[in-house]
Amino acid sequence: MKILVLNCGSSSVKFQFLEMEGEVVLARGLVEKIGSTGALLRYKRGEAKEIREETEVPNHEAAINLVLRTLMHSRDGVIASVDEIDGVGHRVVHGGEAFSASVLVDEEVRAAIERCCQFAPLHNPHNLKGIDVCGHLLKGKPQVAAFDTAFHQTMPPESFLYAIPYGLYRKLGIRRYGFHGTSHKIVAQRAAQELGRPLDQLRLITCHLGNGSSVAAIRNGRSIDTSMGFTPLEGLMMGTRSGDLDPAVAPYLMQRERLSAEEVDGLLNKRSGMLGISEASNDMREIVEGMDAGEERHGLAFRMFCHRVRKYIGAYAAALGGIDAVVFTAGIGENSARVRAECLRGLGFLGIELDEQANLKGAVRISRGPVQALVVPTNEELAIARDTREVLGRTVHAAGASREEAIDRELASLDAAARRELVLLWAADPEAGLERLGQRLSHKLKKRISAQALGSELSRLGLRAEP
């Protein structure tokens, strides 16, 4: 089975094309700067050198069309036609309370995703564009939506509710939803494999640290708490997001600085975090370089970032009643030994003893104590592809089961006289074929019986008939 995975953003389409037999990435790439004449396609086939091409990409339909043409390119492509694409998996940021797992996209699912645009106006509309475009360009191909929020739907009410009037939750759906769920899920699965223990027997804290960052508390493979909330703004300090903040700061800024709600939202999402503290960069690599060069506020941004991760690890260790492992993943978590060391500093009381050499080398296991600290690369595209394969497999199985149930119902409607008539008609002309046999039986019984049901009954009796 070959699966195309798409992650459609406001001005980009990230993609992977996988052969699920062996989970091989046949091709991957990115179309960025959609809507400009200087749009860029980055494409890599297998282990070949990356290809870069500047072109005009006016909209998402043109971007996805470019992806499909590239996959079918006579020299650099990996398929001869779109017929080789068995399904498309889409990253969808917000599924609200409607979805706790990946699902096959139909009109009802599409409508639910559209309703969730109110919760993720910067993401869901673009995710929907990808679904709609594929519905047009790959007509008839099954599509699966994988939701960032789905994994966290196992959180109990004491974790996901805010201490505001309950009626606002009922009326407006204001609650903690959590994000990065696809990443937290696959990283937890890989951590269990590394530890050689069943996931349903582990207590894990997964730290997805990148430009957007979140922490999750996972008990027995289920998320019980996570740092991001109603939006991805809550929780850790991030590249440009403030993270946790006294709610009174927003109205105070509106009053004192005469800012609108939209302006405050922009300030907290796009001008805060590491960028806001350093006033120079939202990139952890540049923050560390500046800190090493003596830039005071680069150092402050670094310490604030790590301090908040450390706080969440401690809090979630308490929520879980102890932990078996802390797992680092994503761009910062996988690549910054300095960040990992600082986040774990002082956590010896939890049973975590950092192995400094292993950490510097970027080993999978970076601790010596009874509680493991792991570095596990995330792969959200593979997780989406796996979900897509699973959903499509269930759909085919369900369709087969439905057909069998329908046949059973048809055969149950035949009495003994009707079954004798079927045998007599077959004996009169064994070469007639099921369609012709069905017509003759329908004429006799004044009742239509499908060719599939007739074939099943004849097979049960040990008789053969041509299709």
315's tokens: 């809090």
C-alpha dihedral, 344 to 349 to 355 to 359, nearest 10°: -10
Q: Are 121 and 161 in contact (CB under 8 A)?
A: no
357's tokens: 């050499």
**Rg, the chain, Cα only:** 28
Residue of 83, 86, 132, 148 marked catalytic: 148
271's tokens: 């001008």
- Cβ-in-10-Å burial (0-12, 13-18, 19+) of 117 comes to middle
Q: Choose among 26, 31, 140: nearest CA to 86.
A: 140
Q: Is 246 a catalytic residue?
A: no
Q: How many CB atoms lie within 10 A of CB 118?
A: 12
CA distance 136 to 143: 12
Q: Are 220 and 202 in contact (CB under 8 A)?
A: yes
Helices marked H in 93-210 = 107-115, 124-137, 157-160, 166-172, 181-195
Phi, psi of 226 (to 5 degrees): -155, 155
CA distance 214 to 378: 13
Name residue, tokens 């979630």.
316
Mention every residue, 6+ apart, whose C-beta is less than 8 A from residue 372. 195, 324, 325, 326, 365
Which runs of E-coded beta strand occur in 363-408?
A: 372-375
Query: Are β-strands 325-329 and 372-375 bridged in parallel, bridged antiparallel, or unpaired?
Result: parallel
Residues facing residue 216 across a β-bridge: 206, 226
The residues that are catalytic are 148
